[in-house]
Structure 1
């Protein structure tokens, strides 16, 4: 897996180019934004940053974790 810096992650903060890190893993979720059950706004809040706290606070299902894995592109 490719390793990304926090500054590289921060460059990807737009809906059309949306990366987020969760538990030290980096995900490009640009292609999932429209399908996210919680809507685009919650994703925009964590775009280009560490979304671990928000992700865990919501209490996502096992299916959500499996879906997320498809979008992993690297690690921090």
Structure 2
């Protein structure tokens, strides 16, 4: 493991959330995986979805091999500063999910209203 003693907050790491500049946080360590995105067997979208938050659970759930864990050390840039208060800003991924949850109700409501109106119309006949 390289001897880098940089400390980053989650807010710092979350700023690096694009294909051109991508950092992830796993087990309290910060990794710059920008150069690895095209080589990731699961695709770059899997990693990009894990930016802006602690990706430890995602990493563990995927069942990475020992060699994958060793390869991660090439991309190590520093430690997560756990003394900093957690960011109150939401990641882009979380915001997108919340918008998707919010706006699915509009078409469902339109369909529901149409069904009720159609049912009432047929009932009058």
2:37, 2:52 → 1: CA distance?
14
1:44 deviates by 1.1
Structure number with bigger Rg: 2
1:47 deviates by 1.8
1:69, 1:36 → 2: CA distance?
15
Aligned alpha-carbon RMSD (Å): 0.7
Large movers: runs of 4+ above 4 Å? none
1:23 deviates by 0.3
TM-score normalised by the chain length of structure 1: 0.95
**Aligned residue pair count:** 76
- Which residue is equivalent to 1:13? 17
1:50, 1:15 → 2: CA distance?
18
Asked whether the equivalents of residues 18 and 48 of structure 1 are also in contact (C-alpha less than 8 Å), the reply is: no
1:41 deviates by 1.1
1:28, 1:44 → 2: CA distance?
12
1:53 deviates by 0.4
Unaligned runs of 5+ in 1: none
Asked whether the equivalents of residues 26 and 75 of structure 1 are also in contact (C-alpha less than 8 Å), the reply is: yes
Which of the pair is proportionally richer in helix? 2
Q: Cα deviation per residue 1:10-35 (whole Å; 9 max; x = unaligned)?
A: 10000110000000000000000000
1:6 deviates by 1.1
Alignment of structure 1 residues 41-60 onto 2, 5 Å: 41-60=45-64
